[in-house]
Amino acid sequence: MMRNLLSKAMQPHKHIGFATATSVIVTNMIGAGVFTSLGFQLVAIQSPFAIFLLWLLGGVIALCGAAVYAELGVRFPRSGGEYNFLSNTIHPMAGFLAGWLSATVGFAAPVALSAKGFGFYLSRVLPLINPSFAACLCVLALCLMHSVSVREGTIFQNAVTACEVILIVFLISMGLFIASHQPISFVPDRRSFQDIFSSSFAVSLVYVFYSYCGWNASTYIVSEIRNPQKNLPASLITATLMVTILYILLNVTFLYTAPINELQGVLEIAHVSSVKIFGSGGAKIMSIIISIVFIGSISGMTLAGPRVINVMSEDYPLFKPFLKRNSYGSPYIAIVFQSCVALFLVISSTFEAIITYISFTLSLSTCLTVIGIFIVRLKRADSEILYKCWGYPVTPILFLGLNVWMLIYIFSEKPVESMWGLITISTGVPMYLWAKRISKSH
């Protein structure tokens, strides 16, 4: 394999500690979803309790997934996320297809969504700025920064994560303790259970699960994490738990501060809520700050995502150009490639279509990865590792059950976007066969 022929100079340095690994997850998770998806959910679901349960379920499932990925990451401590895990648990082809998905749209699509969110919120403050132009400019700027140096990129990542958390805590505090509240109740009633057992609830999980995407972000940079046996599980669980709490409180804040009829179908949910809390002037300031949150999200995905194809290039000579890193350790060609795909999606796709498309494909990939833990436990039942998934086998079963339930509803309600997801994955099959053929000739 090509990986065995790499010189030490080509190997990534272990320069990422617990704080940066955690911040990468937080910024990968906190993006367009939580600030935009509530409006779509409220079109079909008006029960505050059902909305609360949606976000709680999303957090529980993300924690279950994080626990499974933590064990897999400790067992197979290499960057690449699903590419690495599926290659070791199921089959190299399964890993390749997951890696192909991540390398093409798995990160580029969420980057595009966050960039669109950035453009929308910035245009609220500066109406003369075209949202798509602002989105593209943001993607290009962060691509340039992360392509230059890993060290500067991680410093920026930690700083913007701290700003994000402070911003969200401030917004929650003002909304819950200062602003006037709407006359709503989170106590379940008859309408709540009707909403919970409806197809709309399952479809709404699409937006929630998308919002929680990123809970596995540190598994894409394992090779660059110091002491991954300890820091990888700690970063996964800590970041996911933190974001779950923030998400639930954020959505409670939105519902408490603005009437449901003003939130229905609205993309810029946080802006509407901020107008109620701070007035029109304060809301403009808040929109600028929320734009900064989207910058952090794009930065985190630009840091983590390109590592997938960079790792694949170690195993498959077909991707040899993506193996290159500059003198400061940055896989700059992989970063540029991902950013170009993101720019294409910003220009060509609608917000809602991207969410459905990427949620379906990523859920398929994570479900296969979680199945891998059962295979590993059967093959290596007596193996001693420093971390094992808590609650096994209930934890992975719960994750799989709710994800499969959601996938069925997505396919039935949004067949076009779902088929495009399957087509994207299937394009990886001929690429795998081609890559294997080239590998044999080397």
The CA distance from 189 to 173, in Å, is 27
Q: Which of 43-47, 197-201, 280-284 has the lowest mean pLDDT?
A: 280-284
Q: Which of 3-12, 61-70, 219-228, 307-316 has the lowest mean pLDDT?
A: 3-12
pLDDT higher for 329 or 353? 329
81 within domain boundaries:
yes
408 within domain boundaries:
yes
274 within domain boundaries:
yes
pLDDT digits (tens, 9 = 90+) for 190-242: 888 888 888 778 778 877 887 888 899 999 989 888 899 999 999 999 999 99
Contact 304, 217 (CB under 8 A): yes
Three-state secondary-structure class, residue 395: helix
Determine the distance from the C-alpha atom of residue 101 to the mean position of all C-alpha atoms in its chain, rounded to a whole number.
14
Domain that holds residue 21: 13-441
- Of 130, 124, 164, the closest CA to residue 292 belongs to 164
Check residue 423 and give its pLDDT.
86
| Cα radius of gyration rounded to whole Å, the chain | 21
- Of 332, 254, 312, the closest CA to residue 286 belongs to 254
Give the total number of structural domains in the chain. 1
The distance between the two most distant Cα atoms of the chain, rounded to a whole number of Å, is 70
Check residue 57 and give its pLDDT.
92
5 within domain boundaries:
no
**Amino acid (1-letter code) at residue 439:** S
pLDDT band at 7 (very low <50, low <70, confident <90, very high): very low
**How many other CB atoms are there within 10 angstroms of residue 416's CB atom?**
10
333 within domain boundaries:
yes
The CA distance from 372 to 178, in Å, is 48
> What six digits make up the tokens of 271?
């802006």
* DSSP-assigned states of every residue in 352-384: HHHHHHHHHHHHHHHHHHHHHHHHHHHHTTT--
pLDDT digits (tens, 9 = 90+) for 390-418: 899 999 999 999 888 878 877 887 787 77
pLDDT higher for 125 or 70? 70
The CA distance from 386 to 382, in Å, is 13
Q: Is the pLDDT of residue 383 over 80?
A: no
pLDDT digits (tens, 9 = 90+) for 349-372: 665 666 667 777 888 889 999 999
pLDDT digits (tens, 9 = 90+) for 287-296: 777 888 889 8
DSSP for residue 30: S
Check residue 43 and give its pLDDT.
85
> What six digits make up the tokens of 90?
């199921």
133 within domain boundaries:
yes
Check residue 369 and give its pLDDT.
95
Q: Is the pLDDT of residue 282 over 80?
A: no
Per cent of the chain over pLDDT 70 is 94
Check residue 190 and give its pLDDT.
81
In the chain, DSSP finds a helix count (H) and a strand count (E) of 20, 0
Contact 27, 157 (CB under 8 A): yes
What values do phi and psi take at 226, rounded to 5?
A: -70, 135
pLDDT (mean) for 166-171: 87
Average pLDDT, the chain: 85
2 within domain boundaries:
no
Check residue 3 and give its pLDDT.
43
Q: What is the CATH number of the domain that holds 212?
A: 1.20.1740.10
Q: Is the pLDDT of residue 4 over 50?
A: no
Check residue 435 and give its pLDDT.
87
Check residue 1 and give its pLDDT.
42
4 within domain boundaries:
no
